[in-house]
Structure 1
Amino acid sequence: MTTHVPKAPAYWSRDAIWPGIVAVGPMLPGTLAFGMAFGALCAQKSFTLAEVEVMMATVYGGLSQFVAVQAWPDVLTPSSIAALALLTTTVNIRFFLMTASMRPWFGTLPAWQAYPPLLLVTDGGWLAAMRYREHGGANAWFYLGGALVLYLVWLVSAVPGFLLAEQLADPKKFGVDIAMPAFFAALLVPAWKGPRRAIPWLVSGIVALTMHWLVPGYWFIIAGALSGAITAGVMDEPPAATSHAGHSS
């Protein structure tokens, strides 16, 4: 019979900064390509470089920024702003779940230490941090060190993309068009928890593709996200394996 050992509470020690940076290292090329593609898109949409960098620094939403800029209307109206807000909220809703999953770890810190670092949560940084936590890690600098590097790479990556927008006008020429799907596909690998847990992924993908074919616009994002979340919510948890005590060798 196994006993559950509670994980250590969070603490700060700078000796975990470098391991945290190393853990997110494989994600940096994808982040760089992702940011360059976004910078090129903004240039093609007639944004200024200053506007791009302000968005990169303050929004820091990754895919939601692509969705917002691609759907950016020629004239902003209350209805178009509401539509943009709905789209970006739907894309970013996963960050609420990610940060909630970190509460047992960061929740042991004072609020002023726990909440600001969570503003830098990303898909890759979260996965690296949670793997570290699952193996018993508690040093909060592991997460924050990697998160800061990802943020800085994202912040500067849009600059070359913006300046090389004409050369990147055809994303397929340099393979930039596959950067985003490849990046998110790679993130799914460490998130794999078996075929049963993948059912919501499958449902979400099928619904999103069907909606994309049937309805113009970005409704496929909302439909895919909601269908996957609902599927995961209604699925019963598999019965826990029973353990037997009292056997002696």
Structure 2
Amino acid sequence: MNKRGKVVRDTNAGTGLISIDGQQFPFELEGMWKSDVAPCVNMVVEVDFGADGRVASVQVVPESQLAREQAEAAMRATKDKGAALGKEMVARFGAGTLAGMAALVCGWFVFNTITVQIAAGYSSGLSFWKVLGVLNSPLGFMNALGGAGGGSGAYGLFAVLALCGPLLPFFVRNPLAHLANLLPLLFIAAVCAIGYFGLMDGLKQAQGAALAFGGRQAAAMAAEMASGMMKEALRAVSFGLGAYLSVLASLYFAGRGAIKYLSSRA
């Protein structure tokens, strides 16, 4: 029978002692010690007991093995805690809410919302979060395409608030709290509207500048050129997986929130 123990007294002064489960067992260096290194206090050892219950042999447990066992124990503990936390989250918020939140997070922060075809065979994508950075600082558009991106500013704050909207009904017991499920969809719609009107405003400013310096004919030419550039730009832009995930998850939350709100009012 083998048991794990710890040396509490070495053999420098005679018989050594090993502590196992609160009990102490004597051992001798000659005939019992099976390792190449001498025993020392606090050394972890593997003890083999004979049929009479006495120590038959003692062997040190390598530090590499102890480290591996500790790492495995830590991983098991982390896995168990993660599983328990997951069960608690599902019990509190429901699988549908967690799945929808995961889709929103991936749609806004992980996957590309739009992909821009910069040149033949080369394209670059922007996540929804990076799109917010472009809206906050349009001059950083090229940096965003290069992967650097910029700060999202107030847009980022509103995005976080909208993202937390579907969780509000679990903390606020009021029928109106269900309407917070509409926040992700409303925020996406607001971002699209801001982007669209921003482009239109830029075109109007260009047309106004041409009218001021070159008259109506120059303004008409500028409008035609801007329209052509806009069409080419739109051809170069396509929606990515992030856009579809964001819209589907937002529609799910919006529909669920509206149904629950109407049910609570009935």
Q: Please tell me the TM-score bracket, short chain as reference.
A: under 0.3
From the two aligned structures, give the one with the greater strand fraction. Answer: 2
Query: Which protein has greater RCO, CA pairs closer than 8 Å, 6+ apart?
Result: 1
Please give the TM-score of this superposition, normalised by the length of structure 2: 0.25
Please give the TM-score of this superposition, normalised by the length of structure 1: 0.27
